Amino acid sequence: MAAAMETVESLVAHIQALTKPEDVAQLHSLLKQSQSDEALRSQGPHLAPLLADLDPAKHSLGYLYLLDTYLYSSISREQVAAFLPSIARFLNTCSAYHIRFASDKFISVCRCFKDQVMRQQTPIQGIIPLRSAVQKLQNSSEQLTTLHSDFLLLCLLAKCYKPSLCILENDIFEAENPKDLFLFYYYGGMIYIGLKRFSKALECLHNVFTSPMANLNAIAIEAYKKYILVSLIHSGQVPPFPKYTSATAQRNLKNYAQAYLDLTTAYATGKHSEIEACIQQHIEKFQSDNNLGLVKQVLSSLSKRNIQRLTQTYLTLSLQDISNSVQLNGSKESELHVLHMIQDGEIHATINQKDGMVIFHEDPEEYKTCQMVNQMDLSIQRLMSLSKKLTAIDEHISCDPAYLTKIGRERTRYEFDDFDSVPPKYL
């Protein structure tokens, strides 16, 4: 026991001594060797005092190895819970350069941290540390890590959505694990739903079920169900599958979403009674899918949609006429709907309280203010950047030996002249 402790103390001394950037590779080699040493594993439950002697910012790599050993040793959940503040401090202050030498261990520690805050039902405690961990693990903001979905899950459980936006708003071009990609966009879609940013929610959910897939998965099915509901709330209709959707998804998704397709059909009638009947028919399905809240928003959105249709026909209309046309309970409810829609920018109108008349106006935006010009410029710059990135990816794929070999082998199935010859060096 004493000899084992001496070995561990010697390792800690090396960690404290090898702090320069040029020493990190040597330290990493030493730490990897120590992992095969039974002495370190046997001392796992007793490493907490030694961790207290290390600076997580200065000795990040060594701290990571000892922390991982400690957390996965034979300690109780209570001991892990008591160490959460130290783990959070490590995630917030550790060196990105150091932890990338042992990214698997870093991910392991982050997962342990996430599981513990979820077990304690305090997910909000993990949001900032895990966001820091994601950013440190990334080589660039375009890279999707396996921690992205864990971070977004904590934001969802805590109903604390805004801290996730700095991660969600990055364009992702690098992803190793398809499941990580599906979960990232699925959770992202749910966060945007929580923020009432329905267009962004649709974008995320769309990315889930239109991603390439050989077999249908549960994440894509749930994303498609929510996509239908959010489409009805946002635009009143559900777009067809785009051409690039996989054949697997196009063939099978609708079989798992019949209740939602029935709701789409009922919505198209523009009648509250039809939608209410459909909801009652499938209410158990909507409840089991945890989508009943969104379904109710679909029902309430029909009134807004019908009021928007009235603006295309009438310049002025009484609140009572709106109530009769949209099937609301009197002019007071009509007034509330119109006021909320004006506030949200969904219609442009004024209400004459004296005679109960609503006057509809054209959109006052002339797209020539400095703010709008700056917004358009930012959008153009982003599109140009995306275009360059896509061109680079296309060129990379067109020069990939595996891709060229595959095309060369399949060439005989088509007209020979339809393809340029494949360079011999790639075959």
Query: 């249709």: which residue's tokens?
Result: 309
- Identify whether residues 238 and 263 lie together within a single domain: yes
pLDDT in tens, the chain (427 residues): 445 556 788 888 989 998 888 899 999 999 988 876 676 777 788 889 999 999 999 999 999 999 999 999 888 889 999 999 999 999 999 999 999 999 999 999 999 999 999 999 999 999 999 999 999 999 999 999 999 999 999 999 999 999 999 999 998 989 989 999 999 999 999 999 999 999 999 999 999 999 999 899 999 999 999 999 999 999 999 999 999 999 999 999 999 999 999 999 999 998 889 999 999 999 999 999 999 999 999 998 998 888 888 888 888 989 898 888 888 888 888 889 899 889 888 889 999 888 889 999 888 776 778 888 888 898 999 899 889 988 988 888 888 888 888 777 766 555 545 545 545 444 4
Residues 408 and 345 in one domain: no
Q: Are 296 and 323 found together in one domain?
A: no
Write the CATH number for 323.
1.10.10.10
Same domain membership, residue 286 and residue 351: no
Domain membership flag for residue 24: yes
Q: Are residues 18 and 111 in the same domain?
A: yes
Same domain, 4 and 131: yes
Flag whether 279 is in a domain.
yes
Assess whether 188 and 292 both reside in one domain. yes
In a domain, residue 51? The reply is yes
- Domain range for 15 is 1-136+147-152
Q: Is residue 159 part of a domain?
A: no
In a domain, 367, yes or no: no
**Is position 161 within any domain?**
no
Q: Is there a single domain that holds both residue 420 and residue 393?
A: yes
Dist CA 93 CA 90 (whole Å): 5
Residues 378 and 262 in one domain: no
Question: How many domains would you assign to the chain?
Answer: 4
Same domain, 202 and 275: yes
Query: Domain check: are 16 and 75 in the same one?
Result: yes
**Assigned domain for 165 exists:** no
Q: Could you tell me if residue 168 is inside a domain?
A: no
**Same-domain check for residues 226 and 277:** yes
